Amino acid sequence: MNVLMIAVLLATIGGVDEPRPTPMIVAHRGASHDAPENTLAAFALAWSRGADACEGDFRLTRDGRIVAFHDRDLKRLCKRDGRIEAMAFDDVRRLDVGSWKGARWRDERPPTLAEVLATVPPKKRFLIELKAGPEIVPALVRDVRASKLAPDQTIVIAFDRAAAQEAKRKLPDRKVYWLSGFKRDDAGRTTPTVESLVRDAKAAGVDGLDVDARGPIDAAFVKHVRDAGLELHVWTVNDVALAERMRRLGVDSITTDRPGWLRKRLAVR
């Protein structure tokens, strides 16, 4: 048996992995390992390091403006009490969201969604994570429609299924993914199951799932999602071995705090 025949046989029985392209690399809250998360600085750094897309978290101010901010309150980033939803935009704009990362970032302020979308280069994409319910969707539609980005450049993601469903209803030309983590009980059972995730995603009319990469994702999980006609994206991966495993499983994108670093390491494997 010659070398070619051996290679064909091994591939047939699964002994050789088919090479897979690198999935889309998504910068989590921008290049948040090196710059303060959800700031224009973090997004600019991610673009400069070759991210295919950025992801950011967005909340609604008391007076209806959408700004980038992850947490429910201001304690971690701003060392003070308060919540974005209870503040007027002018007051939000005075928040220092950079100093916690270092003195060089002292002048960073929460950007608006419109400002963030204006940073997206040609052929790149932005994943807009809604940190609110359906009430944020009218302002989302306003800002997305006002941007100069093509429909395939803006994607909406949300843990709140009602928000994801309403975003898809109001922005049918944009892709929407439903976010989910996983929990494991004392008996070792993991929830939600892939069956329930797919069922609920289909019922909501969204385009795909965006799930925690540390969950029970294997070939059967991926097949179930694909057979339902859904995309599969994973977060947040800062480990090369896990990223490589996700690539071999064929996920559509990998979200990471270190987009340039991860891309380089996947390219040499």
Condensed to tens digits (0 to 9), the pLDDT of residues 219-259 reads: 999 999 999 999 999 999 999 999 999 999 999 999 999 99
Residue range(s) defining the domain that contains residue 89: 25-267
7: in domain: no
Domain count, the chain: 1
Q: Any idea of the CA torsion for 224, 201, 244, 152, to the nearest 10 degrees?
A: 120
Check residue 22 and give its pLDDT: 84
pTM exceeds 0.85 for this model: yes
195: in domain: yes
57: in domain: yes
11: in domain: no
Q: What percent of the chain has pLDDT over 70?
A: 92
17: in domain: no
Could you read off the pLDDT of 112-133 as tens digits, one per residue? 999 999 999 999 999 999 999 9
203: in domain: yes
The domain that contains 199 carries what CATH number? 3.20.20.190
63: in domain: yes
